[in-house]
């Protein structure tokens, strides 16, 4: 029973990973459309700033969580008492 559940979880995660693959060109088109929808004109500094903010927001949302362990926050790190 345990192996069946493990295989099912693996299959679900593989399908989710495969469906989340998007090419950089598609991401750029989505960002262009979003910034144009916000009212920024393509080719301006404000449009470039909007593209940068969209990219940073995507990285923030997809970054793994930080739990405070490891070099800076865990045992053996420089700030561990």
Instruction: Return the H-helix or E-strand segment holding 19.
Output: helix 2-19
- Altogether, the residues listed in the chain come to a count of 81
More confident residue, 66 or 40: 40
Per-residue confidence at 30, pLDDT binned at 50, 70, 90? very high
Specify the pLDDT at position 79: 56
Q: How far is CA 36 from CA 43, 60, 67, in A?
A: 11, 22, 37
pLDDT at 6: 72
The pLDDT tens digits of the residues spanning 41-81 come to 999 999 999 999 999 998 888 776 666 555 555 555 555 55
Q: If you average pLDDT over residues 7-21, what whole number do you get? A: 63
């Amino acid at each position: 029973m345990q192996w069946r559940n493990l295989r099912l979880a693996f299959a679900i995660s593989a399908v989710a990973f495969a469906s989340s693959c998007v090419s950089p060109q598609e991401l750029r088109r989505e960002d262009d459309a979003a910034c144009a929808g916000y009212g920024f004109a393509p080719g301006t500094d404000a449009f470039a700033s909007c593209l940068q903010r969209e990219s940073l927001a995507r990285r923030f949302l997809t970054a793994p969580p930080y739990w405070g362990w490891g070099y800076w926050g865990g045992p053996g790190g420089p700030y561990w008492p």
